[in-house]
Amino acid sequence: MKITNEIIEKHGLKLDEYKTIQKLLKRNPNILELGIFSAMWNEHCSYKSSRIHLKKLPTKGKKVIQGPGENAGVIDIGDNDAIVFKIESHNHPSYIEPYQGAATGVGGILRDVFTMGARPIALLNSIHFGSTTHPKTKSLLNGVVSGIGGYGNCIGIPTVAGETKFNETYNENILVNAMAVGLAKKNKIFYSKAKGLNKAVVYVGSKTGRDGIHGASMASAEFDENSEEKKPTVQVGDPFTEKLLLEACLELMKDDSIIAIQDMGAAGLTSSSVEMASKGSLGIELELDKVPCREDNMSPYEMMLSESQERMLIILEDGKEHHARKIFEKWDLDFVIIGKTNNSKNLTLKYNNKIEGEIPVEILATKAPIYDRKWVKKKVVQKKIAIKQLKKIKLEDALIKILSSPNHSNKSWVTDQYDQMVMCDTVQKSGSDAAVIRIHNTSKAIAVTVDSSANYCKSFPLTGSKQVVCENWRNLISVGANPIAITNCLNFGNPENKEIMGEFAECIQGIKEACEFLNFPVVSGNVSFYNGTNQKSIFPTPVIGGVGLIPDISKTLNHYFKKENSNILLIGKTFGHIEQSCFLKENFSISEGLPPEINLNNEKNNGETVLQLIRKNLVTSVHDISSGGLLVALSEMSIGSNLGAKIYKPKKLTNKFEYFFGEDQGRYIVEVEKTDLEKVIKMLNDNEVYYENIGKTQAKNFEVESEFNIGVNDLFKINNQWYNNY
């Protein structure tokens, strides 16, 4: 087949990229080789636009066992236990086919985690939909949620936390990010680096079909009106087979049969074999006639580019074949030796004993173009919103409006569709600041959470992304965990646009600053560009997934009020920053101005102090203050507990709306029993933490002094109606 410009373009390659290929190969590639280049050199696999920025992120730390670069990040949680975790996007497939797109997103991230030798113990997700009035939103929401549940429930891993948000910026491009967290033994982590010559390269799992061919290049191109028409073959998830694959892999991992293992994710057989060979500076020869195929007459091209799910590639130690085969056959899975390692440093593809393609691995893996794309700093527009000039509303009505809005409604409509309890180690489910998962058979636990703040990031990427990291950190602190490390999923628009690239660069800068200051390294992540349609990109949406450690499970806390007549303390200073607040957005549709500033010093000091209070058993409930500000956070503490609160109005109040709904950062609410108040205040003073004693818990009613008084039951109803009426 002659390679025309049109064919090159269809493969998502630019003409000058093709020229580079010719130069590197010193010849023209054939169509199979071109397909392989397109799979390896697209944005999704090569990170060509993001690489130089990603390098800035802090990835090292005392607890980091493996940073970015492997299938998932690994951190040390003591006692030879390690936590393996990563987040990944499945945005484009989920928009086209929400159920299967979301399901296979979950399946894919699970494989990333168990390839490393970890048993997955928790799933999280961050899902963003368009406006609730957009005609597609409802069915996308339904499909995505049931797809996430469908996969996780069936394979039997609890889905324990996440976020569900609506914003018209996602009307034509929803976000579906899935995160998986696994538990491994520190001395039994598996990597993808090939070692040794003449070792068997084994294909295990499902058969290869024609599904998802060019899925990876699809994830690297913008949508246009026709993409729904194009009907790319969407993959269908098979959680049952994945469960078998999981058990078989973990069984084989008990001894040292495996030299290297890599799941077949985006760009399937191509990227898995290239990755293993390139990490080990070896060559791999594959005999494609041996690849287990689901359809008749599949060509080498199709086999190499198929993205069929639930497959793995393993390099086996000599003499282990029989043992390994027995395990996979017990689990009714294909097990075929399809090739071997050699020292040629080439990827050699044979079909019927004929070489169909041969490319130096090095070229594929490391010679992909790297772009330092043009970017410009965000022009920040200071704008102070004067509440006095807005229409008059009541404090109570403003609160109700927020609590009943889609973005702040209780998410149990979503989370009731996920099995959160399977594995019986879920100490704290969805609905709390972070989910808490016990390490099986021990008295320690991990805390996990995902966060994002697209509105903040849009108006000021640098501060916005810093804020997301801080909020994540705060959520972990709030349940009593030492934050350890994060994974991140960077959902952005078209990187070829310099404003978008600027958003990306500045968001990375913000994440870097916050992570460095908080000693909260990045151990894994994923970049998803080209989110948007017809030149209209989505708001920059970095999603942060954090993990923390709770050494003693009895010292974990949630945000529900525990007792009547406790003191309610507000920790951290309230300035009343109202721009970019959900108060203005929900009540006045105003979304101008800058997000609240981040003071990393205060953030750290306040958080560490709160953690000390928790560890010393001096507080009975803790909640961080985020979107919605003080009053929303207080209501959430009430709603979950059935206990009310009486909040005093501060004496020198500039504006009550700014005070109650401002979104100043670095703040927490803690509940303190009378007997502990003195000790708590002493510790706060010793640590130079600003606090206010703002009220008391009480039975049944939630009230703000001389403003309003409402039954907790009613608050509950207000907070729980939206989804059921949608």
Partner 1 sequence: MRSSVIVFPGSNCDRDIAVALEKMQFKNQMVWHKETSLPKTDLIVIPGGFSYGDYLRSGAIAGKSLIIDEVIKFAKNGCLILGICNGFQILTETGLLKGTLLRNKNLKFINKDVNIKVLNNKTQFTSKYRINQVLNINIAHNEGNYFTDSKHLQELKNDNLIAFKYCDNKGNTNLESNPNGALDNIAGIFNSKKNILGMMPHPERMVDKFISNDDGVNLFSSLLN
Partner 2 sequence: MAKLFQLNLKKNKLKFSVTVTLKKDVLDPQGKVVENTLKSMGMGNLKSIRQGKFFEIEVDENDQKKAEEKVKVMCEKLLVNLIIEDFKITKLI
Ligand X SMILES: Nc1ncnc2c1ncn2[C@@H]1O[C@H](COP(=O)(O)OP(=O)(O)O)[C@@H](O)[C@H]1O
104 binding ligand X? (CB under 6 A): no
**How far are the Cα atoms of 576, 622, 697 from residue 682, in angstroms, in the given order?**
26, 18, 21
431 binding ligand X? (CB under 6 A): yes
481 burial class (0-12, 13-18, 19+ CB within 10 angstroms)?
A: buried
**How far are the Cα atoms of 2, 75, 196, 641 from residue 300, in angstroms, in the given order?**
17, 39, 26, 60
Task: Work out which of 33, 97, 163, 586 binds ligand X, going by CB under 6 A.
Answer: 163
**Do 107 and 97 form a contact (C-beta atoms < 8 A)?**
no
726 binding partner 2? (CB under 8 A): no
432 binding ligand X? (CB under 6 A): yes
**Closer by beta carbon to partner 1, 412 or else 655:** 412
Minimal distance, residue 117 CB to ligand X, in Å: 26
Q: Which residues bind partner 1 (CB under 8 A)?
A: 146, 149-150, 153-156, 238-241, 243-244, 331-332, 412, 415-427, 438, 553-554
The partner in contact with residue 295, picked from Mg ion, partner 1, partner 2, none with C-beta cut-offs of 5 to 8 angstroms by kind, is: partner 2
Helix H or strand E segment including 470: helix 461-478
Tokens of 330: 């017990």
The partner in contact with residue 423, picked from Mg ion, ligand X, partner 1, none with C-beta cut-offs of 5 to 8 angstroms by kind, is: partner 1
**Closer by beta carbon to partner 1, 97 or else 238:** 238
| Whole-number CA gyration radius for the chain | 26
422 burial class (0-12, 13-18, 19+ CB within 10 angstroms)?
A: middle
| Phi (first) and psi of residue 139, to 5 degrees | -75, -30
Minimal distance, residue 154 CB to partner 2, in Å: 10
475 binding Mg ion? (CB under 5 A): yes
Tokens of 529: 């560009």
Of 597-626, which residues contact ligand X (CB under 6 A)? 626
Strand, coil or helix: 107: helix
Task: Work out which of 83, 183, 234, 402 binds partner 2, going by CB under 8 A.
Answer: 234
Q: Which of 11, 53, 90, 214 is catalytic?
A: 90
Residue count, binding to ligand X (CB under 6 A): 17
Minimal distance, residue 133 CB to partner 1, in Å: 23
**Do 561 and 524 form a contact (C-beta atoms < 8 A)?**
no
415 binding ligand X? (CB under 6 A): yes
**Closer by beta carbon to ligand X, 223 or else 583:** 583
Minimal distance, residue 310 CB to partner 2, in Å: 9
Measured between alpha carbons, how far is 13 from 663 in angstroms, rounded to an integer?
A: 45
163 binding Mg ion? (CB under 5 A): no
DSSP, res 539: P
Minimal distance, residue 164 CB to ligand X, in Å: 4
91 binding ligand X? (CB under 6 A): no
- Beta strand pairing call for 346-351 and 283-287: parallel
Minimal distance, residue 373 CB to ligand X, in Å: 31
Minimal distance, residue 556 CB to ligand X, in Å: 14
Strand, coil or helix: 436: strand
115 binding partner 2? (CB under 8 A): no
53: annotated active-site residue: no
414 binding ligand X? (CB under 6 A): yes
44: annotated active-site residue: yes
419 binding partner 2? (CB under 8 A): no
| Phi (first) and psi of residue 503, to 5 degrees | -60, -40
User: C-alpha angle with apex 92: 88 to 93, nearest 5 degrees?
Assistant: 90
384 burial class (0-12, 13-18, 19+ CB within 10 angstroms)?
A: exposed
**Closer by beta carbon to partner 1, 119 or else 340:** 119
Minimal distance, residue 244 CB to partner 1, in Å: 6
The residue with tokens 């069929």 is: 308
**Do 149 and 350 form a contact (C-beta atoms < 8 A)?**
no
Strand, coil or helix: 633: helix
Nearest to 164 by CA among 122, 137, 129, 132: 129
Site string for Mg ion, 600-639 (x = CB under 5 A): ------------------------x---------------
Of 263-322, which residues contact partner 2 (CB under 8 A)? 294-295, 308-309
The partner in contact with residue 418, picked from partner 2, partner 1, Mg ion, none with C-beta cut-offs of 5 to 8 angstroms by kind, is: partner 1
Measured between alpha carbons, how far is 179 from 425 in angstroms, rounded to an integer?
A: 18
| Phi (first) and psi of residue 257, to 5 degrees | -75, -30
Task: Work out which of 49, 235, 455, 638 binds partner 2, going by CB under 8 A.
Answer: 235
Q: Which of 44, 408, 577, 623 is catalytic?
A: 44
**Closer by beta carbon to ligand X, 268 or else 431:** 431
Residues with catalytic roles = 44, 90
Q: Which residues bind partner 2 (CB under 8 A)?
A: 96-97, 100, 206, 209-211, 231, 233-238, 240-241, 294-295, 308-309, 332
Q: Which residues bind ligand X (CB under 6 A)?
A: 125, 127, 159, 161-164, 411, 414-415, 430-433, 451, 475, 626
